[in-house]
Amino acid sequence: MSDTTSRQTRVVVVSGGLGEPSTTRLLADRLTTAVRTALDDPSSEVSVLELRDIARDITDALLTRVPSPALQTALDAVAGADGLVVVSPIFSASYSGLFKSFFDVLDPEALDGTPVLIAATGGTERHSLALDHALRPLFSYLHAVVVPTGVFAATADWGSSAATTRLTSRIERAAMQLVHLAVGTSATPDPDPYTDPTPFEDLLFGRST
User: Could you report the per-residue pLDDT of 103-146, keeping only the tens digit for each?
Assistant: 999 999 999 999 999 999 998 888 899 999 999 999 999 999 99
Handedness of CA 14, 20, 24, 26 (dihedral sign): positive
Q: 55-64 vs 97-105: helix axis angle to the nearest 10? A: 50
**pLDDT bucket at 159, cuts 50 / 70 / 90:** confident
**HEC-encoded secondary structure of the chain:** CCCCCCCCCEEEEEECCCCCCCHHHHHHHHHHHHHHHHHCCCCCEEEEEEHHHHHHHHHHHHHHCCCCHHHHHHHHHHHCCCEEEEEEEEECCEECHHHHHHHHHCCCCCCCCCEEEEEEEECCHHHHHHHHHHHHHHHHHCCCEECCCCEEEEHHHHCCHHHHHHHHHHHHHHHHHHHHHHHCCCCCCCCCCCCCCCCHHHHHHCCCC
Predicted confidence at residue 206, as pLDDT, reads 59
b vs e for 85-108, b when ≥16 Cβ sit within 10 Å of the residue's Cβ? bbbbbbeeebbbbbbbbbbebbee
Averaged over 88-114, what is the pLDDT? 96
pTM assigned to the model: 0.83
Domains and CATH numbers, the chain: 10-205 (3.40.50.360)
Q: Tell me, what's the pLDDT at 126?
A: 80
Task: Please give the pLDDT value at position 127.
Answer: 84
User: What is the average pLDDT score of the chain?
Assistant: 88
How far apart are the C-alpha atoms of 132 and 149, rounded to whole Å?
10
